[in-house]
Amino acid sequence: MATVAETITSVRLLLAQPEPSTPSEAVILEVVLNQLQHHHNQLQSTSNHFSVDSYALDATSGTEDYIVSAANFGRPFLVHTEDADDTYHHRREVPFSLLQDADQLYRGPQQTHSAYEWTAQEIIFYRRSNAWYARLVPIPGASGSYRVWFEVALANPGALTETHGLAAFHNLVKVQSALSLLPHCRWSGLDAKDTLAQGQMLERALLRDEAKYQRAFDHYRANSTREGVSDRIGYGGLDYEAGDGYDGFSQITWGRS
């Protein structure tokens, strides 16, 4: 898998090795990173989770809202209970909800008095003041951990020596980067007329390659589906409010998909 530095070198080769400062390495890097993020976003929009990460949400008694601690947080798609000290812990999925629909999955006390670790019946993600937050419903009465899985927002590598996650579409990234950089190019020994002719010749060749590589990329995206998915991780109400006039099973049933 090519590193970012190797990709920059490859792009210069596709551009017939223009003068070192036209375009400069910094300009090539900017264009390449933009192309990587663009294609990453396109793959994230398919039905598969192309690039994911997770973080631990540690709930505490009496706290309703928790700031999302993951710096690369993008779009959440799964939250489940977690117990690092219990190998046999039965994971339970916590469903999502919008803020205005919180009462559709849970109708009970705003805060539970239960000492059970995982009383969340739903979780709400929202963004406020340039930060992401997670809200547990109802407000927990004891500490408990949840695992939040999400699609990452940023795909760009942090250093020139790092590889990027688009190895299968490396040629498309290179060609489209080269097309974007053509207006920046100047070649040694060529006057304005010859420079224009050189750019036009390279553009025709790069466009032919782009069409070929783009078809393969589009075909991959069109067929990026999750076949054979059955039931999701079961979730359900626990009768943790027994004696308080609330029966969790009357609201939510185990195994609901």
Asked if residues 49 and 42 have their Cβ atoms less than 8 Å apart, the reply is no
* Tokens (6 digits) for 8: 């920059």
Q: 200-217 b/e with 16+ CB inside 10 Å = b?
A: eebeeebeebbeebeeeb
* Tokens (6 digits) for 143: 């500490």
Q: CA dist 97 to 26, 47, 111, 123, 214, Å?
A: 43, 20, 17, 6, 37
Q: Inform me whether the pLDDT recorded for 210 exceeds 80.
A: yes
Burial of 166 (0-12, 13-18, 19+ CB in 10 A): buried
How many residues are present in the chain? 257
Asked if residues 189 and 70 have their Cβ atoms less than 8 Å apart, the reply is no
pLDDT at 246: 40
| Banded pLDDT at 232 (limits 50, 70, 90) | low
pLDDT at 146: 97
Residues 6+ apart with CB under 8 A from 130: none
Asked if residues 233 and 91 have their Cβ atoms less than 8 Å apart, the reply is yes
> Angle between the 170-181 and 192-222 helix axes, to the nearest 10 degrees?
150
Say which range, 157-161, 204-208, 247-251, has the weakest mean pLDDT.
Answer: 247-251
**pLDDT by residue (tens digit) across 32-83?**
999 999 998 888 887 777 888 999 999 999 999 999 999 889 899 999 999 9
* pTM of structure: 0.72
